[in-house]
Every structure is written in C-alpha cells, then in structure tokens.
Amino acid sequence: MPCGGARVTVAMRFGHCRPDRPAFEENPVTSHFSEGGGTPTAPGRYVDVDAIEPVEFVPGLEFRPVLGERTMTNFVHFEPHTEAPMHQHEEEQIVIVLDGEFEFELDGDVRTMKKGDVAVVPPWVPHGARTKDTRCDEVDVFNPPRKTLLEHAAAQRTAAGAPDANPV
C-alpha cells in the first residue's frame, strides 16, 4: 500500500513514507501498545520516593535511587552552590531536569540546563554538574543500574528487613 490517507502522517513521522519503502501494513499505535508476548519477571510496584533514605556523597547533593529489573532511576537534589565533580562510569546515563537549573559539563561542553532539558551521557564520557544560586531537582536514568548506588539500595533492603519491604 503506498503512503496516503490517514496513515501518511504516522508513516512519515516514523520515517516509513518513502518511495523505496512500503507504508505500515498494521497500525503502529496498536503495535506499540500490544498485549502479546512474554512472562512478567517480577510484580509491578509503586514507589514513594520521599520514603527512600537519601545518600549524600557530597554535601548538598542527595540521591534517592529506584531500582528496576534492568534499569535504575535516581532522583537527585542539588542545594545551591553544590558540585558533582567531573567523573565517568561504565553505565549509560540520561539526565532530565525537573525543576531549578544547574550548569552541566558533558565532555568539555558546558551548558545551563533548566526544567525539561535532557542530556545523554554514553559510557565513559566525562561529565559533572554544579549549581550556582539556585537549587536543582533532576532525574538520572542508568542502564545498567549504577554500581555505586546499587550498594545503597542493597543497604536499604537490609535495613528494611526484607527485599519486598524496601521502597527502592
């Protein structure tokens, strides 16, 4: 079926409306939200991030990690005039600013990031951040989970008395 009709917008958006390619044969929306295949590896759960005991590697910089099966989301709070020093690690990281702002350095490129801004940090790329006169709340997504924060999550599980009792 050539590109046309109601499918043309979706096909063009996903790069499938080209003369050398046929348009989608099935609706990509229903394909994305399909119900088929696979067995759950764990039960789903809700997490109260405020109930997670923060870890502070640097004064004024709090981390609250939430661990999934293969991914970690870390809720981060920077107080004013706080610095996360330049570092690098094997885990890929995506940084999403929720509120406030900070200066982020990514492989030598320094930018002020504000609410809604996102940075992608591939493995082993040097990066760091600092706040000036404002606070900043941001989320880091790590894949695989960040090793140094896994230790914190494990300590919380032990303190909670059982793996299922942990809010992380």
| Alpha carbon distance 21, 26 (integer Å) | 14
Provide the pLDDT for residue 99. Answer: 98
Residue 58 CA to residue 64 CA, distance in Å, equals 14
Q: Identify the structural domains of the chain with CATH numbers, from first to last.
A: 1-34 (no CATH), 49-163 (2.60.120.10)
DSSP H or E segment with residue 154: helix 147-160
User: Given this model, what pLDDT does residue 13 score?
Assistant: 46
pTM: 0.75
Strand blocks (E) in 26-147:
55-58, 61-67, 72-78, 83-87, 92-106, 109-114, 118-121, 127-130, 136-143
Find tokens 């900043």 and name the residue: 136
* The pLDDT of residue 21: 53
Q: Please report the pLDDT score of residue 19 as a whole number.
A: 54
Instruction: For the chain, 168 residues long, give each residue's pLDDT as a single digit of tens.
Output: 445 544 444 444 445 455 555 555 566 666 777 777 889 988 988 989 999 999 999 999 999 999 988 999 999 999 999 999 999 999 999 999 999 999 999 999 999 999 999 999 999 999 999 999 999 999 999 999 999 999 877 666 555 543 544 444
